[in-house]
Amino acid sequence: MTARYRATFSQRGDEIAGTINWEGCDGAFVLECLHEQVVYLAKQGNLDPAEVVRDLYAVVTGRVK
């Protein structure tokens, strides 16, 4: 079976809605997919990937809302 990971999001006003689907994926594959997303976001924003991770950590832990 082929592993597939898809994440789709949209924003309407201040609300974000989306779906995340993974089929045939193990935890390591999902983590690698998240890694690829962080690297992509960093490149798009001309940022260090570690800065993206720090910001994401602040949001996840409720330090930034």
- Look over the chain and give the mean of its residue pLDDT values, rounded to a whole number: 94
The whole-number pLDDT of residue 64 equals 81
Complete DSSP assignment for 13-35: TTEEEEEEEEES--HHHHHHHHH
Query: What mean pLDDT do residues 33-62 have?
Result: 96
This prediction's pTM: 0.79
Instruction: Give φ, ψ of 12 to 5 degrees.
Output: -130, 110
Q: 65 pLDDT exceeds 90?
A: no
Q: Of the candidates 62, 59, 33, 38, which has an alpha carbon nearest to the alpha carbon of residue 49?
A: 38
Task: Please answer whether residues 38 and 51 qualify as being in contact, where contact means their C-beta atoms are separated by less than 8 angstroms.
Answer: no
pLDDT over 80 at 19, yes or no: yes
Distance CA 65, CA 57 (A): 11
